[in-house]
Chains A and B, each alone.
Chain A
Amino acid sequence: MKEFRVHRGRMAPLDRDNVDTDQIIPKQFLRRVERSGFGPYLFYDWRRDEPDFVLDRPQHRGASVLVAGINFGCGSSREHAPWAIEDAGYRVVIAPSFADIFLSNCGKVGILAVALREGRVRQLMEIAGEAPETELTVDLERQVVSAPGFESGFEVDPFTRECLLNGWDEVGLTLRHEDAIGAFEARSGAAAKA
């Protein structure tokens, strides 16, 4: 996984609540066996059906911070959703809240999901709309999101933070505890054979 320390980039405001993973990456694109190449299909139906879809507006091209409404990433567990977001050039998603599985998947993919209060997210949407050239700085080490005239701290799971800061491979990390896993299996008779 790519390490994540400080990211600076422009925002794309997707002012919608409950964006589900079926919208982020529709199912007809889940049939690839590779992890890459999903970017062109990000929000495929919306891009196709809405000529002025916000992410495609010239002022938001090249944005790398996606700002969205509550409960972002609800629905299916497909990791293809954060893969598509990453492949399309985004490294940060900011929303008032995230669905559990999506949030967990982001951490594994190297995307930082930042939950800010609704009012703060609204402010960012306004900045992105009125001054799209504004660069937002997302500092994971200090846990601060900032832009001229805007600053907000944020909470992040400390383990996810460590993994992102160091670009750790979680499997490698766990395999260091192989003895503990073996001991658990011996102790619990783990488990009944499937």
Chain B
Amino acid sequence: MPRTLAGKIWDQHVVRSAPGEPDLLYIDLHLVHEVTSPQAFESLRLNGRRVRRPDLTLATVDHNNPTRGGYRAADEISRRQMDALAANCEWAGIKLYGLGSRRQGIVHVIGPELGLTHPGKTIVCGDSHTSTHGAFGALAFGIGSSEVEHVLATQCLWQRRPRDLAVEVEGELPMGVTAKDLVLGLIAQVGIAAGSGSAVEYRGSTIRGLSMEGRMTVCNMSIEWGARVGMVAPDDTTFAFLEGRQHAPKGPEWEAALDRWRALASDPGAEFAEVLRLDAAALEPFVTWGTNPGQAAPISGRVPEPADETAERALRYMALRPGTALQDIELDRVFIGSCTNARLEDLRVAAQVVRGRHVHPRVRALVVPGSASVKLAAEAEGLDRVFTEAGFEWRDAGCSMCLGMNNDILAPGERCASTSNRNFEGRQGSGGRTHLVSPPMAAAAALAGHLVDVRRL
């Protein structure tokens, strides 16, 4: 029977399958960070259990660390979490890239960067954006802390097979329209729960034409429309990205891996429960106007009349009036960062917009590279100077203002154009207002002081 990509990887990882039970699935790579793991380790110890495969586990600090001043700048509670992670990794023999390491960074940035994210792997992390790794043709999904504990102890998880869903994207992305706009446009079209219970495969010529960074951006936001898993079948773009990286297979093993990975595509005739279609050529740069990622519109548009109570509530929170041109929305802050859009390519595109110009006097703008190594690579190209000369702050790696667990937060009432993934109420700081955009759109907004169409700049 023809199988889907997700189905093939699933079948390869079933440890036990019995009627009435979920499948017991083997996990190839477990990424751990300081916020969702302390309770898991604590529970292991209380129960006298050990970590089964520390060699398949990797830890880093990303969620709550300061982005300047290092460990010393962290408040006491954040330090406790970082210290707990260090102690737990020491206890279990897990490799930790902590603050100060050249390999530290957002889990979903460093996995691919280190060459640990491979096609065909099962990958989990106590973070909902784990779907990012699906860009490599891995089956990757976010889990809760109890499941983190379960994977630490058993290297397995009980899982029900998700339904298979395909998103076909055809056509050429117009100039100035990025992978971020593609996924925001998709979510605006299908709604924020359309992917519930599903593993999504993104297909079609547009997806094939995306760089690995672009594919990661798309897969990253799968959870924003309900799908735990989002993936792209591996191809030469994938292999070119991986080859030569620290943990990528080498020599004859590389050749053998390529043979295995090339077989990782949905078979012709494989059945999907649903196929959603998106026309890339019709897309524009998108911005969100509300308090969930589906409340988005093309930048040329206006704040819509609220269609329901949820939208009314969102407009109240965002302090926006229906009919206002999106380009007239003034900003206080701009954030370029997050596991969605803080890779080298994202920073390059944003720097291109910024070069030789200056941030609007009202705006405070922040660039937070996705990892220490992205930061170093960007500095080697002089991108840091492009940003700082334009008036941006250039920071150390971390999740930072995507979720505001450190000091990088919006003040109540502040309005921010952000390259992150969630515009929920208070997400970037209690009372803060978030507009999700692509990196070039964020850069353009910082210069203009309001939301603006980057293509007109």
Question: Does A175 lie within 8 Å of B153, measured CB to CB?
Answer: yes
CA distance A26 to B425 in the complex (A): 10
Question: Does A174 lie within 8 Å of B228, measured CB to CB?
Answer: no
Minimum CB–CB distance from B227 to chain A (whole Å) comes to: 8
A window 1-51: CB within 8 A of B: 16-18, 20, 22-23, 26-28, 30-35, 45
CA distance A177 to B22 in the complex (A): 14
Give the size range of A's interface with the partner.
35 or more
**What residues of A have a CB within 8 angstroms of the CB of B411 in the complex?**
none
Q: Does B440 contact A (CB under 8 A)?
A: no
**What residues of B have a CB within 8 angstroms of the CB of A193 in the complex?**
55-56
Question: Does B39 lie within 8 Å of A191, measured CB to CB?
Answer: no
Question: Does A191 lie within 8 Å of B56, measured CB to CB?
Answer: yes
Q: Does B42 contact A (CB under 8 A)?
A: yes
Question: Does B310 lie within 8 Å of A194, measured CB to CB?
Answer: no
Q: Does A144 contact B (CB under 8 A)?
A: no
**Residues of B in contact, count (CB < 8 Å):** 75
CA distance A105 to B247 in the complex (A): 32
Question: Does B145 lie within 8 Å of A79, measured CB to CB?
Answer: yes
CA distance A194 to B38 in the complex (A): 21
**What residues of A have a CB within 8 angstroms of the CB of B35 in the complex?**
30-31, 78
CA distance A184 to B14 in the complex (A): 8
Question: Does A174 lie within 8 Å of B95, measured CB to CB?
Answer: no
Contact with A along B148-166 (1 / 0, CB 8 A): 0110011110101000000
Residue of A with least CB distance to B154? A174
Contact with B along A171-192 (1 / 0, CB 8 A): 1101101101100110010111
B window 131-184: CB within 8 A of A: 142-147, 149-150, 153-156, 158, 160
B residues bordering A, Cβ < 8 Å? Answer: 12, 15-16, 20-22, 24, 26, 28-29, 35-36, 38-39, 42-43, 47, 49, 52, 55-58, 63-64, 77-78, 80-81, 84, 95, 116, 118, 121, 126-128, 142-147, 149-150, 153-156, 158, 160, 192-193, 196-197, 223, 226, 228, 247, 249, 292, 308-310, 313, 403-405, 422, 424-427, 430-431
A residues bordering B, Cβ < 8 Å? Answer: 16-18, 20, 22-23, 26-28, 30-35, 45, 70-71, 74-80, 82, 97, 99-101, 104-105, 108-109, 157-159, 169-172, 174-175, 177-178, 180-181, 184-185, 188, 190-194
